[in-house]
Structure 1
Amino acid sequence: MISAREQERYFTPEEYFAWEEQQLEKHELIDGRVYAMSGGTQNHSAIAINFLLLIRSHLRGSQCRVFNSDVKVNILHTPNYTYPDLSVTCDDRDREHPLYITYPCLIVEVLSSSTEAYDRGKKFERYRRNPNLIDYVLVSSDEMAIDIYHKNDAGDWLILSYRSGDSPEGMLRDRVELKSIGLSLPIEEFYEEIVFEPPPDAV
């Protein structure tokens, strides 16, 4: 989702929570500044819902919980709060506060052209400080393409790219693996009923 700075003043987390309760829009808090969150496209919303339904069904009966973009994520050991499109936590400590979670193992962001560089760069830099985070999932809304930043057992971050029908080095990688929650599904299921607009220069 697109965000734009709205206030020149600085907020403490307590001031931010109280102020945002009076607003009609959601706002992120980054380094004391608040940023208004704008709406996305139909594809953006539908893809996020597909992820939510598939993950919710998979997690049923477990201690893990999945949240949509109404729940904030506190960047661990900072006063920063973001609204990812989707987050999953399996940590009991995240039951302590109704407005946000702090220990997600999985975060999903559906990309837009205006936020992709931020989501891949500075936002991921903030998220990966959290030792609980295992999968950071970036989902295209323009084509069937998913990139997962996955933290392996050695603590190194790997980039796993998934495409429909893609076969790098003879190995199909069109089955998306969310190792943080033990879910593996064909990429097509995450894009069910999604219709992509043809590129502007298409004949």
Structure 2
Amino acid sequence: MSRPALKDRFDAEAYLAWEAEQTEKHEYANGEVFAMSGALENHVTVALNVAIALRSHLRGGPCSVFISDMKLHVQADDAFYYPDVFVTCAESDRAESRHKSTPSLVVEVLSSSTAAYDRGAKFASYRKLPSLREYVLIDPERLSVDLFRRGDDGHWVLHPFVAGERVEFSSVGLALPIEDLYEDVRFDPEAASTHP
């Protein structure tokens, strides 16, 4: 999410109608719209790798994988987001073609301009989705995946993964080497050395 769009506040239905006519994507939160900026190559490559792995694993089953052009509705926050990748297995989501609202897994690939938001306010909003089992944050500049999993007690627990480990998406029954998520990613040695 970047800057508020130059548009008066409006309700969710007005946003959906307005957004359908736009050439750029905008997220929506509580009456305001926010223009989305383009992504860098590593970001796009990681997101594509995740989507391909999930789609291949879930093919032929009841779950669907969506990429960043499909909106995710968080009704409790009157918000619509464009996650990089998400999975829904809910029959109710099949009836709505403009957006989905019952994900089991959401993946966001971090960028310098959105990392704090993805870890903070956006995660707080996603946690209000009763169906959500896992929220995944992937750093496109180094082998680092933070997977937050909701336990049976409702508490979220961080499961970090680094080079040489297998990332476990338990919500969809998929485990794969972290390196698979970074296939064809070209790391910038200078960016990696200045990363926290």
TM-score above 0.5? yes
How high is the sequence identity, in percent, across the aligned residues? 44
Q: Does 1:134 align with 2:125?
A: no
Q: Is the 8 A contact 2:29 2:77 kept in 1?
A: no
In structure 1, which of residues 175, 182, 186 is the aligned counterpart of residue 177 of structure 2?
A: 186
Q: Which letter does structure 2 place at the counterpart of 1:128?
A: R
Return 5+ residue gaps in structure 1 as ranges: 166-173
Q: Which of the two has higher C-alpha Rg? A: 1
Q: Is the 8 A contact 2:142 2:192 kept in 1?
A: no
Q: Is the 8 A contact 1:7 1:33 kept in 2?
A: no
Matching residue of 2:38:
39
Secondary structure, aligned partner of 1:114: coil
Return 5+ residue gaps in structure 2 as ranges: none
Matching residue of 2:80:
81
Matching residue of 1:145:
144
Q: How much does 1:3 deviate? A: 2.3
Secondary structure, aligned partner of 2:76: coil
Give the Cα separation in 1 of the matches to 2:62 and 2:84: 21
Q: TM-score, normalised by structure 1?
A: 0.91
Give the Cα separation in 1 of the matches to 2:74 and 2:152: 22
Matching residue of 2:14:
15
Give the Cα separation in 1 of the matches to 2:11 and 2:138: 32
Pairs aligned (count): 193
Q: CA RMSD in A?
A: 1.3
Q: TM-score, normalised by structure 2?
A: 0.95
Runs of 4+ with deviation above 6 angstroms: none
Q: Is the 8 A contact 2:167 2:178 kept in 1?
A: yes
Give the Cα separation in 2 of the matches to 1:200 and 1:64: 36
